[in-house]
């Protein structure tokens, strides 16, 4: 998912964004392994996870169960973009404290009244999927979060998913700058709003400590450019100048770890070899009458997601071919360009029945979610593969490449 997997450079902000509860559980499991390998007290990014979907009551109960399972070292932050979600958290904490008091004999107030859950406020910075607008309703919700006895506000979160519709680098520069400007301006507005209702001193102390979590994979490399003096002009920042402070800044480019065909199109990466997640498929059909072949990977392996450059996926190293259609279990591959006279013959000899091809998915997040294990291949093997492809194949067969590890993903939600 576009929101997933962000890990920030600053020590305080380091952590992960998860899109599902099983992902959180996997990360917290990893945090225990990781903790054993680092000095006591050192920062552990695996133990600091934001659940990046607006919180609901059933998910909150599952998150609380994970907090209990993994103990005091684990932090799971919830995402809030509506007052009712804060009420869900507050009711949950109230009931927990009551049942805790009951268990202790009842009657007395529990001494532990410090905030129980930590939260990010989701702001809508123009993508219009989730998020409260960075206007009056957003300021009121943020103030409620800042003053809640059950929830501690840790930061504000935006996802500029509209970057996926950008067609030029200049547009991405603008989106990256607006994304960050929206959050910075919101925090200034929040301080003023809280000052106006008598919480000024508290706001002065707490607001500067909030984390700004912004970004998307397509806009990732456009933040540096737009934060330079020459690139920063003409922004939406309508009063103060930014000081460029990035102490509490966190970027969350969820697709960065794998990339895919869409990211090549968007310029997030350049080459097929930048795409780290590919699907091994077998050739199972030859159709000389219509110059196509059939592969045994379909929508169950690739998803049906599309990308502007067309094709349902692509075969690594074969820019002359196009994946014409993908149904549930199979994909039809044809030639990208027939000869001007309408002739031309599919290079069947390069793809004997039973041979393997490596497919680049349109959207690696959805394609990765189709599988219950990933085979990890060494970078040198990868280079060898590409060299083979450049030479027309044959040096080393795909199925002979050494698998150095097997990873098991979190599944479900």
Which residues in this chain contact a second copy in the complex, by CB under 8 A? 1-2, 19-20, 53-58, 81-82, 84-85, 88, 124, 128-133, 135, 137, 161, 282, 284-290, 292, 294, 296, 298-301, 303-306, 325, 327-330, 332, 353-354, 365-366, 369, 372, 412-413
Q: Which is nearer to a second copy, 44 or 364 (CB)?
A: 364
Q: Which is nearer to a second copy, 115 or 133 (CB)?
A: 133
- Shortest Cβ distance from residue 78 to a second copy (Å)? 12
- Shortest Cβ distance from residue 164 to a second copy (Å)? 10
User: Which residues have C-beta within 8 Å of that of residue 100, sequence separation ≥ 6?
Assistant: 110, 112
d(CA 107, CA 123): 41
DSSP run (H or E) holding 99 = helix 83-103
User: Which residues have C-beta within 8 Å of that of residue 360, sequence separation ≥ 6?
Assistant: 260, 261, 272, 275, 278, 313, 314, 315, 316
Please report how the helices 83-103 and 136-146 are oriented relative to each other, as an axis angle in degrees rounded to 10: 20
Q: Which is nearer to a second copy, 329 or 350 (CB)?
A: 329
- Shortest Cβ distance from residue 265 to a second copy (Å)? 17
Q: Which is nearer to a second copy, 41 or 412 (CB)?
A: 412
- Shortest Cβ distance from residue 219 to a second copy (Å)? 16
Distances (CA, A) of 188 to 240, 256, 336: 9, 30, 53
3-state secondary structure of 356: strand
d(CA 362, CA 201): 50
Q: Which is nearer to a second copy, 190 or 249 (CB)?
A: 190
Give the angle 143-246-270 at the CA atoms, nearest 5°.
115
User: Which residues have C-beta within 8 Å of that of residue 196, sequence separation ≥ 6?
Assistant: none
- Shortest Cβ distance from residue 353 to a second copy (Å)? 5
- Shortest Cβ distance from residue 102 to a second copy (Å)? 25
Q: Judge residue 47's burial from the number of C-beta atoms within 10 Å of its C-beta, 0-12 exposed, 13-18 middle, 19 or more buried.
A: buried
- Shortest Cβ distance from residue 231 to a second copy (Å)? 29
- Residue 27 · residue 18 · CB < 8 Å: yes
Q: Which is nearer to a second copy, 10 or 413 (CB)?
A: 413
- Shortest Cβ distance from residue 334 to a second copy (Å)? 10
- Residue 175 · residue 162 · CB < 8 Å: yes
d(CA 346, CA 320): 10
Q: Judge residue 366's burial from the number of C-beta atoms within 10 Å of its C-beta, 0-12 exposed, 13-18 middle, 19 or more buried.
A: middle
Q: Which is nearer to a second copy, 231 or 298 (CB)?
A: 298
Residue among 72, 66, 73, 67 at smallest CA distance from 45 = 73
Q: Which is nearer to a second copy, 2 or 179 (CB)?
A: 2
Q: Which is nearer to a second copy, 271 or 290 (CB)?
A: 290
Distances (CA, A) of 208 to 77, 112, 114: 19, 26, 21
- Shortest Cβ distance from residue 71 to a second copy (Å)? 27
Return phi, psi of residue 66, to 5°: -70, -40
């Amino acid at each position: 998912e576009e929101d997933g997997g962000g890990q920030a450079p600053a020590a305080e902000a380091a952590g992960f964004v998860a899109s599902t509860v099983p992902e959180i559980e996997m990360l917290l499991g990893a945090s225990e392994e990781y903790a054993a390998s680092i000095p006591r007290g050192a920062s552990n990014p695996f133990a600091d996870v934001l659940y990046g979907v607006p919180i609901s009551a059933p998910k909150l109960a599952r998150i609380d169960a994970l907090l209990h399972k993994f103990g005091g070292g684990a932090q799971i932050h919830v995402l809030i973009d509506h007052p009712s979600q804060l009420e869900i958290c507050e009711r949950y904490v109230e009931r927990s404290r009551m049942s805790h008091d009951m268990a202790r004999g009842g009657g007395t107030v529990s001494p532990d009244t410090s905030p129980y859950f930590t939260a990010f406020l989701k702001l809508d910075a123009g993508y219009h999927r989730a998020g409260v607008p960075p206007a009056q309703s957003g300021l009121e919700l943020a103030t409620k979060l800042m003053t809640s006895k059950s929830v501690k506000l840790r930061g504000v979160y935006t996802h500029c998913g509209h970057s996926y519709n950008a067609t030029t680098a200049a547009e991405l520069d603008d989106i990256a700058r607006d994304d960050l400007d929206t959050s910075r301006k919101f925090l200034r507005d929040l301080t003023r709003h809280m000052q106006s209702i008598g919480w000024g001193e508290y706001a002065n102390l707490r607001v500067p400590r909030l984390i700004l979590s912004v970004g998307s994979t397509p806009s990732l490399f456009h933040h540096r450019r737009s934060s330079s003096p020459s690139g920063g002009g003409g922004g939406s920042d309508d009063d103060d100048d930014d000081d460029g402070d990035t102490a509490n800044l966190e970027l969350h480019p969820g697709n960065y770890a794998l990339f895919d065909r869409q990211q090549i199109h968007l310029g997030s990466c350049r080459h097929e070899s930048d795409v780290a997640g590919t699907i091994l498929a077998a050739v199972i059909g030859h159709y000389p009458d219509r110059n196509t072949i059939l592969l045994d990977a379909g929508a169950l392996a690739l998803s049906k997601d599309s990308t502007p450059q067309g094709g349902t996926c692509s075969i690594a190293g074969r820019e002359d071919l196009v994946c014409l259609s993908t149904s549930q279990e199979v994909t039809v591959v044809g030639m990208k360009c027939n000869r001007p006279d309408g002739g031309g013959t599919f290079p069947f000899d390069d793809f004997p029945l039973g041979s393997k091809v490596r497919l680049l998915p349109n959207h690696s997040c959805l394609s990765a979610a189709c599988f219950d294990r990933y085979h990890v291949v060494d970078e040198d093997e990868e280079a060898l593969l590409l060299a083979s492809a450049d030479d027309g194949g044959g040096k080393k067969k795909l199925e002979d490449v050494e698998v150095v590890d097997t990873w098991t993903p979190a599944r479900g939600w």
